[in-house]
Structure 1
Amino acid sequence: MELNDLLLTPIYLGIFYSIAFSIRGRFTNVYTKPYFIPALTLKFLGAIVLGLIFQYYYGGGDTFNYYNHTKVIYGAFINSPLAGLKLIFSSTNSFDPDTAPYVGQLYWYRSPTEYFVIRIAAFFGLFCFGTYTIIGLMFAALSFSGMWAMYTTFLRIYPLAYKQLATAVFFLPSVFFWGSGLMKDSICIGALGWTFYGFYYSTIAKRSILFSVLVGLLGAYVLYSVKVYILLSFLPPALLWVFNENNQRIKSSTVRLVLKPFFLLLGLGAGYIGATRLTSGDDKYDVNKIGERTKINSEYLTTQVSNGSAYNIGTFDGSASSLVKVAPQAVVVSIFRPFIFEARNPVMLLSALEATLFLYLTVTLFYRTGVLKSLQLIISQPILTFCFLFSIVLAIGVGTNSGNFGTLVRYKIPLMPFYLSGLYIMQFQARPKPRLGTVSRQRKKLAAA
């Protein structure tokens, strides 16, 4: 961090908070208003602390690699605005004499996923003199917008749990730390929130359809450009969600029973087709090569760890059969580990505390409700089916692809709000039901607020 960070950050923070307070009333109600500014503040804090920890604790890392590229582009813009804009907006596959002097300094120029992040950072840098901390705050604000969309979508589905859902979406330390600042993870969790919002409102609630489709597609495009495996994990459960919702709206129980298997198969088939077409020909994420790629990544990350944070989920050779064998352990390691005694540093300790919370809530909920009743509840409620299926699919992917807790804590943050939200909604659903009139009045108050 430099002098500009110290001088300009307070000024820009004042601007950002002024904007936040001015728009808060438009995007909140009496129940959600208390969470808007605190949640945004945590995102800003996460962005600043992330930069400080990477600079003074790790001594570097991805966030500064992105920033070093951003500085090159900002310097190009100062020398030649046309060259700077071309580096941000033009294709990286064509030679251009204006950008040629700078391309050699951009190590990730030919790496689409990393350079996508750099494009966004460089664009933000034009408005803040290329200052690292302010770019990080802009990433935090961008991420917050998607997470607020995620939160309001959950509230539209189950408004009674607005306090618990705020905890699940905004107040998990790993999520607001890794999901803020100049990182891929910030963009992805924000894009996931907008994809979730757009998908729900365009296909299930059917409100503001044009806007919902546009923001949903934009969020999906960002995920596709940066971390397509999140989109691959999202699509099949989301399509099943749509079919389950439509299945529930059929009044005849006989017709529902006949059509439900059809909806399930159709959703899985559509998800598979979408996944294969999205990744066809991509050496990194093609479904025909993803097992092999996962094996390579897992072995590399495991052998690179020398601080005791590696984990072993069994033999995985990249084949579908071995993936099935290690999947249960991958789910456990992604959602319920590291255990407290496995923590080796403060970052791992935070992750361990969150994993302990997830384990405690899961065990107590299934114990009090009963395993069979809990499973019936998940199957009968489309939102719960979606939350847990998405969490499990992504958990398998990141659990087999990481190999150590240091990278896993970052990879798994997209599933954490959905898994915890699912648990909290289950808690409410499993409670003894109050009188119908009481529930109806509560729902109407929250909807009208």
Structure 2
Amino acid sequence: MELRDFIVTPIVILIVYIVAYILRSRITDEITRPYFFPALTAKILGALALGFIYQFYYGGGDTYNFHSYGSRHIWEAFMDNPATGFKLLFSDGSSEVGIYKYSSLIPFFHDRSSFMLIRIAAIFDLFTFSSYSATAVCFAVISFIGLWMLFVAFYEVRPDLHKLIAIATLFIPSVVFWGSGLLKDTITLAGLGIATLLIKRIFLDRRINIFSVLLLLLCFYIIFSIKKYILLTYLPAIMIWVYATNLSKIRSMAFKVMMLPFVAAITVVSGYFAISQVGKDDSRYALDQLGNTAMVTAYDIAYLTGHDAGSTYSLGELDGSFGSLVKLSPQAINVSLFRPYIWEARNPLMLMSAMESLVLLSLTVYVVFKRGSTFFAALTNPHIIFCIVFSLTFAFAVGVSTFNFGTLSRYKIPLLPFYTLALILIYHENKDRNVEELESTE
């Protein structure tokens, strides 16, 4: 922490709340309004708490490195020469001509994903005088916008479940903590939330305008630039969501049955094409290299770069083939959703993660057994299908490629809102059906 943090951060927070107060009446209604400021406050506190934990518990880490050895140097370039600053800000990392004085100080300059985050942070630094905590608050605001839009997307689907949907999207503790600060996960999480609402508006509600389309493409570009593997799981899921929603609007059951194979084929082909395009310019994410990429990433995080982030875990041997990943999929999904178990906790942060995992496991068991008789019937709901497909495939992806509980607790946050939403919708879908059946027999 520096003196500038104590001066600039309170001013930035005050401005954020003034702007939020002005906009609140325009973007909320009587039902959603009570969640607005608590959710915003939670994100800001989460960003500040994350900074304190990294500084005083970890003694440094990614969030400070991205700022101190990244965006701070771009800010300094702007202060020395705005032309040089702009050249550095928009550099693609391939050339250092005219910017070497500053780019040589940024260890992430040639790392496309990290440098994308650094450039976003640098834009905020221009307004926060490169104050870490003030810039972190700006990241928290971006995360809040994304998660608020995710909340709105599902609130529009089931307005009667607004309280539960708010908890799932705005107030899950690990999402508030790990998804608020100056980290890659904050931006990608926000991108997912914004993209989900826009996809609903454009493809499901047919409310199409050029701004929404451009913003959706921007979200995809940012996610693609920072964490490609998120798109590998998200794109097929949203395609299934769109196809399943349109199929559900057909009244004729016979026609639905006839169309199902065609829709399934289109979904698989579209998903394959989307994944192929995502991995087109990065051989690590090509379909035939996913197994090897997961293996290298898992062992790197477990034993090298992520060694101090928390305790390691093992699901079994990875040999670099896609088949070895598939064999470990049940264990991978389980570790992402329900581990670490309480007895596996090795430090306070792991204990918090373990308690959250225990709650999620308990909710899962409760929903499955409480509504077991109509559980599978609920899976025909397109919104549930979307949440389940994305959360489980993402759980598999991060679980099989992390091998470290500390890192996993941060990487898995995008799946938590969607999985929790799936449980909520499944429970109340079945509950509503039972009520309808009871009323029909009376």
- The answer to whether structure 1 residue 361 and structure 2 residue 385 are counterparts is no
Please say if 1:133 is aligned against 2:133.
yes
Higher mean C-alpha displacement, 399-408 vs 274-283: 274-283
Could you list the per-position Cα deviations for residues 374-426 of structure 1 after superposition, in whole angstroms to 9, with x for gaps in the alignment? 12211x10110110110110011000110010010111000000000111111
- SS of alignment partner, residue 59 of structure 2: coil
Q: What is the CA–CA distance in structure 2 between the aligned matches of 1:8 and 1:114, rounded to whole Å? A: 25
Shift of 1:336: 0.8
Give the aligned partner of residue 329 of structure 2.
327
**Which whole-Å CA distance do the structure 2 matches of 1:381 and 1:211 have between them?**
29
Paired residues for 1:2-401 under 5 Å: 2-68=2-68, 69-97=70-98, 99-304=99-304, 305=307, 309-370=311-372, 373-378=374-379, 380-401=380-401
Given residue 13 of structure 1, which amino acid in structure 2 is its aligned partner? I
Residues 52 and 239 (structure 1), Cα distance of their counterparts in 2 relative to 1, 3 Å cut: same
Q: What is the rounded CA distance, in whole Å, between the counterparts of 1:417 and 1:307 in structure 2? A: 23
Call closer, same or farther: CA 1:147–1:306 in 2, change over 3 Å: closer
Instruction: With the length of structure 2 as denominator, give the TM-score of the two structures.
Output: 0.95
Larger mean CA deviation between 178-187 and 248-257 belongs to 248-257
The Cα offsets for residues 320-351 of structure 1, whole Å up to 9 and x where unpaired, read as 22111100000000001111121111211221
Counterpart of 1:200 in 2: which secondary structure?
Answer: helix
User: Contact between 2:247 and 2:256, CA under 8 Å: does it hold in 1?
Assistant: yes
Deviation at 1:120, TM superposition (A): 0.6
Q: Evaluate the alpha carbon distance shift between residue 290 and residue 209 of structure 1 in structure 2; reply closer, same or farther with a 3 A threshold.
A: same
Distance 2:298 2:76 in 1: 37
Report if aligned partners of 1:198, 1:217 keep a CA contact under 8 Å in 2. Answer: no
Q: CA deviation at 1:289?
A: 1.3
1:445 alignment counterpart: none
Question: Greater CA deviation, 322-331 or 67-76?
Answer: 67-76
Aligned to 1:425: 425
Which amino acid counterpart does residue 143 of structure 1 have in structure 2? Answer: S
Instruction: Determine what percentage of the aligned residue pairs are the same residue.
Output: 39
Quote the residue 1:442 is aligned against: none
- Deviation larger for 306-315 or 216-225: 306-315
Write out per-residue CA displacement over residues 202-235 of structure 1, whole angstroms, 9 at most, x where no aligned residue: 1111114433322221111111010111111011
- Distance in 2 (CA, whole Å) between partners of 1:303 and 1:223 is 27
CA distance in 2, matches of 1:419, 1:400: 18
Aligned residues: 434
Q: Which amino acid aligns with 2:153?
A: T
| Cα shift at 1:49 | 0.8
Provide the C-alpha distance between the structure 2 equivalents of 1:27 and 1:353, rounded to a whole number of angstroms: 34
Question: Does the aligned pair in 2 maintain the 1:174–1:351 contact within 8 Å?
Answer: yes
Letter in 2 for 1:345: N
Q: 1:307 to 1:87 in 2, by over 3 A?
A: closer
Residues 230 and 394, structure 2, Cα contact 8 Å, conserved in 1: yes
Q: Are the counterparts in 1 of residues 150 and 193 from structure 2 also a CA contact under 8 Å?
A: yes
Q: Does the 8 Å CA contact 1:291/1:318 hold for their aligned counterparts?
A: yes
Q: Distance in 1 between matches of 2:188 and 2:405?
A: 20
Letter of the 1:312 counterpart: S
Does the 8 Å contact 1:244/1:260 carry over to 2?
no
Provide the rounded CA distance (Å) in 2 between the counterparts of 1:319 and 1:376.
35
* 1:280 and 1:287 in contact (8 A); partners too: no
Contact kept, 8 Å, 2:46 with 2:180, in 1: the verdict is yes
Distance change >3 Å, CA 181–CA 200, structure 1 → 2: same
Contact 1:146 1:189 survives alignment (8 Å): yes
Quote how far apart the aligned CAs of 1:307 are.
8.0
Using a 3 Å threshold, how does the CA distance of structure 1 residues 27 and 308 change in structure 2: closer, same or farther? closer
> Which amino acid in structure 2 is aligned with residue 409 of structure 1?
S
| Cα RMSD after superposing both structures | 1.6
Contact 2:231–2:278 at 8 Å: present in 1 too?
Answer: no
| Amino acid of the structure 2 residue aligned with 1:6 | F
Structure 1 residue 433, shift from structure 2 partner: 5.0
CA contact (8 A) 1:233 1:390 kept: yes
* One-letter amino acid of the counterpart of residue 427, structure 2: Q
Find the aligned partners of 1:395 and 1:245 in 2 and give their Cα distance. Answer: 24
| Equivalent residue letter for 2:142 | L
| 1:93 Cα deviation after fit | 1.9
Q: Give the 3-state SS of the residue equivalent to 1:391 in structure 2.
A: helix
Greater CA deviation, 288-297 or 114-123?
Answer: 288-297
8 Å Cα contact 2:201-2:207 kept in structure 1:
yes
Aligned-partner Cα distance in 2 for 1:218–1:197: 14
Write the letter of the residue equivalent to 2:340.
Answer: P
> Comparing 229-238 with 88-97, which one deviates more in the overlay?
88-97
Bigger mean CA offset, 130-139 vs 214-223: 214-223
With over 3 angstroms needed to count, the CA separation of the structure-2 counterparts of 1:106 and 1:417, relative to structure 1, is same
1:63-113 deviation line (CA, Å, top 9, x unaligned):
11111211111111111111112111233323432x122121111111110
How much has 1:8 moved relative to structure 2?
Answer: 1.7
Q: Is the 8 A contact 1:191 1:223 kept in 2?
A: yes
